[in-house]
């Protein structure tokens, strides 16, 4: 089953297409390649929210839809929920 999508090959987060329960082995799919990654969700990931495809440290850049969407402000582990609590815009 597909639980998250990766829109561009350089994306560092996937987008949940269903609610993903913490502890679930979630399956993903790349829209532009043949990648079908699987990873364990470490947190609840609500529909439409981001799941980390890699580990991040503060200062790292998050890429979604092939675009820079912000900088990491708290450590993020692969499988974590990526949202306003750990990523902020670079505009301010």
pLDDT in tens, 14-50: 999 999 999 999 999 999 878 789 999 999 999 999 9
Helix (H, G, I), strand (E, B) or coil at 16: strand
Domains of the chain in start order, with CATH, are: 4-88 (2.30.130.110)
Structure pTM? 0.94
Helix, strand, coil tally for the chain in percent (to 5): 0, 40, 60
pLDDT in tens, 48-64: 999 999 999 999 999 99
């Amino acid at each position: 089953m597909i639980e998250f999508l990766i829109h561009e090959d350089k994306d560092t987060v996937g987008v949940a297409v269903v609610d993903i329960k913490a502890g679930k082995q979630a399956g993903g799919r790349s829209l532009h390649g043949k990648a079908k990654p699987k990873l364990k969700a470490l947190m609840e990931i609500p529909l439409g929210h981001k799941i980390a495809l890699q580990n991040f440290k503060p200062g790292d850049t998050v890429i979604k839809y092939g675009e820079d969407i912000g900088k990491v402000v708290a450590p993020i582990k692969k499988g974590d929920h990526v949202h306003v609590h750990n990523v902020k815009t670079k505009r301010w």
